[in-house]
Amino acid sequence: MDYTILEKSALFSGIPTKELCNDLNSVPHHIQRYDKGETIFHLMEGANRIGFILEGNVQVQKLFPNGSQINVSVRKAGELIGPAAVFSGSQKYPCDVVALEPATILFFQREVILLLLQKDLRIMKNFMTELATASYMLQQRLELMSYSGIAQKAAFYLLIQARQSGKNVIEIPGSVSNWAMVMNVSPPVIEIHDFDALQNVLSK
């Protein structure tokens, strides 16, 4: 296994490569590959395992009976999927998790995660930080959803990113279509009003 992405992740931060290898080799786990569009976790499926994304991006989404969909979040390589559900009272996944592109996931059963947390307090601290961060991000996501229109949502997103990074230059997460998914809006379209003006631009 390539431990590079694991070493750079928040979950295993501060753990030397040798110790990380020993920790993971001492517990059962498995790796699974998913194609684009394939569902990793199903809504209300029994939550008994946590996924660690080794490669690719996945989308957490909520489908409603009326056919509408909310894109809760996009998770990328080095991040966890399913930890809150696994340790919740219901132990059910509250959303679908779908691969946005070919993705590789490292899975741990609930009992294995508990064993890792007991064996290494650094992993326990990192794991608790991850859960707290996920809860905080969900609250921000709910506030984002409360705004109507692309302009308000974009303004909220940019302000949050600027405050968190301390920078005035904000990178768009991937493609414009991917950003639209994060904002939970339809991808923007361009309406052409003056064909001659566009042609004049090319002629200059």
88 and 9 together in one domain: yes
Distances (CA, A) of 113 to 11, 150, 185: 11, 40, 36
82 and 108 together in one domain: yes
What is the band of 183 on the pLDDT scale with cuts at 50, 70, 90? Answer: low
CA atoms within 13 A on the CB side of 157: 23
Q: What token pair was written down for 108?
A: 């741990």
Report the C-alpha gap between 132 and 121 in whole angstroms: 17
161 and 119 together in one domain: no
Report the C-alpha gap between 98 and 33 in whole angstroms: 12
Q: What token pair was written down for 28?
A: 């059962």
* Number of domains comprising the chain: 2
Query: Taking the CB of residue 185, how many other CB atoms lie within 10 A of it?
Result: 14
Assigned domain for 142 exists: no
Domain holding 51: CATH number?
Answer: 2.60.120.10
- The pTM of the full predicted model, rounded to 2 decimals, is 0.72
Q: What token pair was written down for 59?
A: 């989308």
Q: Is the pLDDT score of 128 beyond 90?
A: yes
Q: Mean pLDDT across the chain, nearest whole number?
A: 84
Assigned domain for 204 exists: no
Q: Is the pLDDT score of 174 beyond 70?
A: no
Assigned domain for 24 exists: yes
124 and 50 together in one domain: yes
Q: Is the pLDDT score of 170 beyond 90?
A: no
124 and 157 together in one domain: no
124 and 158 together in one domain: no
What is the band of 199 on the pLDDT scale with cuts at 50, 70, 90? Answer: confident
95 and 175 together in one domain: no
Domain that holds residue 27: 4-136
112 and 25 together in one domain: yes
The amino acid sitting at 53 is I
Do 145 and 184 contact (CB within 8 A), yes or no?
yes
50 and 91 together in one domain: yes
Assigned domain for 162 exists: yes
Q: What is the DSSP string of 154-201?
A: HHHHHHHHHHHH--S----SSSHHHHHHHHTSPPP----S-HHHHHHH
129 and 152 together in one domain: no
The amino acid sitting at 59 is Q
For position 46, what pLDDT does the model report?
Answer: 93
The amino acid sitting at 161 is Q
Assigned domain for 180 exists: yes
With b for 16 or more beta-carbon neighbours within 10 A and e for fewer, the 70-106 pattern comes to: ebbbbbebbbbbbbbbbeeeeeebbbbbbbbeebbbb
Report the C-alpha gap between 101 and 99 in whole angstroms: 5
Assigned domain for 200 exists: no
182 and 88 together in one domain: no
Assigned domain for 199 exists: no
Q: Identify which of 79, 77, 70 has the alpha carbon closest to the alpha carbon of residue 153.
A: 70
Query: Taking the CB of residue 122, how many other CB atoms lie within 10 A of it?
Result: 16
Which of 2-16, 52-66, 90-104, 188-202 has the weakest average pLDDT? 188-202
Assigned domain for 10 exists: yes
68 and 153 together in one domain: no
